[in-house]
Structure 1
Amino acid sequence: MADLVAGVDGGNSKTDLVLADTEGRLLAWVRGEGTRPHREGMVVTAERLADLMRRALDEAGRPADPVAVGAYFLANVDVPEAEQAALRLLSGLDVAERVIVRNDTLAILRAGAPAGWGVAVVSGAGINAVGVHPHGGAARFLSLGDITGDWGGGMSVARAGLGAAVRAGDGRGPATVLRDVLPTWFGLPTVEAVALAVSTGEIAVAELHGLAPLVFAAAEGGDTVAREIVERLGDEIVTMVTALLRRLDLLDTPTPVVLGGGTLQNGQVLLHDHIRVRLAGQAPLAEPRVLDVQPVAGAVAEALAEAGASEAAQRRIRSAIAVRPSPVRDEPGARPANEARS
């Protein structure tokens, strides 16, 4: 019987795959591009994920060995039809003997709520949330971006920061240090030059995500405009959490609320404080906690559970993921010095 399992956390901007054995030993941890089937198609996404699995097996020195269970928790797989399409394609590519496909929010919940229920928010490049009732019912959002009323994550923060900086220069908005700090990310003289470069395609829209840490830093430094943007993100997170608690009839039940993803797991004190204050007012029994391990730990936990691994194996892999630095992606146009801040 195959003794390998794989857990995959696919976000908008990056995908982590951890390969382990059923004793909980970490064998490989590789990182690839984001999971964007809504833009690139599910076929391309599945093939890229299969390539990532091959990379992990090669790194572990076991390129020909079968994988018993592959648990894929993927961003932008938001409806049952998308889950089924990903499951069918990944199964056809033989990534594992048994393939599980879920939305990436459930990896956050699996990693941060030991009982398996509660609310989880993922705020990375984008934003989403899910709620699971202790009796098994679930609630989620359609999460298709602007057309379904979504705002949040690093990309929304970055775009709002750039827009606010332009408005500060043309008289439509208040002064902000963002006018000075944002262009430095791209080595350009002004935010107007950045906006023009995006409009002509010289700068890809996805690269704007790198501005988010600068907005957070400006907010922590006291800039009023940046602070309002960060607080807006906190408000959106609280709105999502309370909506899920209401839909699941959990407002009167002490409920774990797990906060994960790049913009929530990087020590953003202002954001965390704002969320806790607002949540205390709207859902006082909610129990917010910032995930203390990479979300991929939740995916690996699911794979190990499906493979029948012991609790000791679960603890062992979680500890290994917690202490090992995440792999750094090496892609054209990447700016590694700021990777950990986004």
Structure 2
Amino acid sequence: MNASPQAAVLAIDGGNSKTDVALIAFDGAVLGRATGPGSNAQQIGLDQAFAVLDGLVAAAADQAGPADRWRPGTAVAHHTLACLAGADLPEEEQSLGAAVRARGWSGTSRVVNDTFAVLRAGSPDGCGVAVTCGAGINCVGVAADGRVARFPALGRLTGDWGGGDDLSKEVLWWAGRAEDGRGPQTSLATAVADHFTTATVHDAAIGIHFGRIPPARVHGLTYVLFAAAAAGDAVAHSLVTRMAEEVVGMAAVAAGRLGPTDETIDVVLGGGLMRARDPILTAALHAGLARELPKARVHILDLPPIVGAAMLGLDQVAGPGAAANLRATFAADLGHDGVHCWWARACVRFPGPPGLR
């Protein structure tokens, strides 16, 4: 395998909380795959990010060809397509691209933002608009002629709001103010204390401040929010609908940069908050998109974004049917609960370097 890689594409979907790596054959078959912790260089630094990626590439390569174990510095595929969170600006794409090339994983490579993987996985032809709403929020649009619409996606610095991180902070903010009397009463105060099994929201905030409550539990507040909104809490409902309007606004602006907003366009919604299919959020999304983009074909992405990364790579180095074969394989294997059972069974879990475990 090292002298002449059998894989067409080394596909990487590097997110904030999880990273997927897969080796894909020229016909779209999956040869090896591994998952591990997040690899956003903005959050953990370039060295730690590539320590995660190195481990995952090695695990996927060994799964693809255990009799000929991969060694660092040897190629595992003809082409690398890395869709990375944190590749938000041209300068970041360039620095991350240089780091990928230095690994020698393949003869050619390309680095793009991870939202491109969501669009390619969910749109039939890779064109349209995609909004990713997981820990954060981002959006990209691609026209049939190749024109691209993007946002800097640097959070409040560039006017962005949304995703699990921002929603969790809002839940804590409103719950804390309800508890101490500075804000309107909301059931979120009791729900937050119950979620963290603390006596008060104040105790939970102190636990978060000192690191006694891990970030994963804080992110779980999005589901506390959904439950409170479903029960009729006005504050919770307003946060959920605000989240919907942020998604709709990004999609509409991106679509408008590509062409008239009254034309047919695919809108792909990806990320954990979209896949949760909360009824209030989903209804608000569909209503808002129907208002702003009346001919939008809305797709909530069930396929894992690594499929989109692999399809982008196959588009460049394989025949026209390879990407379609890969998508068809996953679509056929998609269970009713949105989980790809075969894909999960084929996966090697990599815990990440010691600093991230």
Residue of structure 1 in register with 2:252 after alignment? 242
Letter in 2 for 1:6: L
The one of 262, 268, 271 aligned to 1:258: 268
Q: Secondary structure at the match of 2:273?
A: coil
Unmatched segments (≥5 aa) in structure 1:
333-342
Shift of 1:181: 2.8
The one of 76, 81, 84 aligned to 2:86: 76
Shift of 1:328: 9.7
Task: Assess, with a 3 A threshold, how the Cα gap between structure 1 residues 328 and 177 changes in structure 2: closer, same or farther.
Answer: farther
The one of 36, 44, 51 aligned to 1:47: 51
Q: Distance in 2 between matches of 1:114 and 1:100?
A: 21
Letter in 1 for 2:323: Q
Tell me if structure 1 keeps the 8 A contact 2:118–2:301. Answer: yes
Residue of structure 2 in register with 1:215 after alignment? 225
Counterpart check, 1:30 vs 2:30: no
Tell me if structure 1 keeps the 8 A contact 2:33–2:59. Answer: no
Residue of structure 2 in register with 1:338 after alignment? none
Shift of 1:78: 0.6
The one of 164, 168, 182 aligned to 2:192: 182
Residue of structure 2 in register with 1:7 after alignment? 11
Counterpart check, 1:293 vs 2:297: no
Tell me if structure 2 keeps the 8 A contact 1:128–1:143. Answer: yes
RMSD after superposition: 2.3
Q: Distance in 2 between matches of 1:30 and 1:216?
A: 32
Q: Write the deviation string for residues 254-299 of structure 1: whole angstroms up to 9, x where unpaired.
A: 1111111111112222111101112222222332221231111100
Letter in 1 for 2:25: D
Shift of 1:238: 0.9
Q: Distance in 1 between matches of 2:130 and 2:123?
A: 9
Residue of structure 2 in register with 1:172 after alignment? 182
Q: Distance in 2 between matches of 1:92 and 1:240?
A: 35
Tell me if structure 2 keeps the 8 A contact 1:70–1:96. Answer: yes
Q: Secondary structure at the match of 2:106?
A: coil
Shift of 1:232: 0.8
Tell me if structure 2 keeps the 8 A contact 1:164–1:173. Answer: yes
Shift of 1:178: 2.3
Q: Write the deviation string for residues 111-165 of structure 1: whole angstroms up to 9, x where unpaired.
A: 1112221111000100000111222111111111111111111111111112111
Matches within 5 A, 1:61-100: 61-62=65-66, 63-64=69-70, 66-100=76-110
Q: Distance in 2 between matches of 1:180 and 1:19?
A: 47
Percent identity, please: 37
Matches within 5 A, 1:92-171: 92-171=102-181
Tell me if structure 2 keeps the 8 A contact 1:11–1:124. Answer: no
Q: Distance in 2 between matches of 1:130 and 1:310?
A: 23
Residue of structure 2 in register with 1:317 after alignment? 326
Letter in 1 for 2:6: D
Shift of 1:204: 4.8
Q: Write the deviation string for residues 188-223 of structure 1: whole angstroms up to 9, x where unpaired.
A: 333211111222233355652222222223223333
Q: Write the deviation string for residues 153-182 of structure 1: whole angstroms up to 9, x where unpaired.
A: 111111111211112211233333322333
Task: Assess, with a 3 A threshold, how the Cα gap between structure 1 residues 218 and 125 changes in structure 2: closer, same or farther.
Answer: same
Counterpart check, 1:193 vs 2:203: yes
Q: Distance in 1 between matches of 2:180 and 2:234?
A: 18
Residue of structure 1 in register with 2:337 after alignment? none
Unmatched segments (≥5 aa) in structure 2:
334-339, 353-357
Tell me if structure 2 keeps the 8 A contact 1:50–1:90. Answer: no
Q: Distance in 2 between matches of 1:76 and 1:69?
A: 21
Letter in 2 for 1:3: Q
Shift of 1:300: 0.8
Letter in 2 for 1:75: A
Matches within 5 A, 1:269-288: 269-288=279-298
Shift of 1:68: 1.7
Q: Distance in 2 between matches of 1:305 and 1:278?
A: 33
Letter in 2 for 1:55: A
Shift of 1:250: 2.9
Q: Distance in 1 between matches of 2:217 and 2:303?
A: 26
Task: Assess, with a 3 A threshold, how the Cα gap between structure 1 residues 95 and 223 changes in structure 2: closer, same or farther.
Answer: farther
The one of 225, 239, 254 aligned to 1:229: 239
Tell me if structure 1 keeps the 8 A contact 2:59–2:348. Answer: no
Residue of structure 1 in register with 2:355 after alignment? none
Q: Secondary structure at the match of 1:116?
A: coil
Tell me if structure 2 keeps the 8 A contact 1:22–1:304. Answer: yes
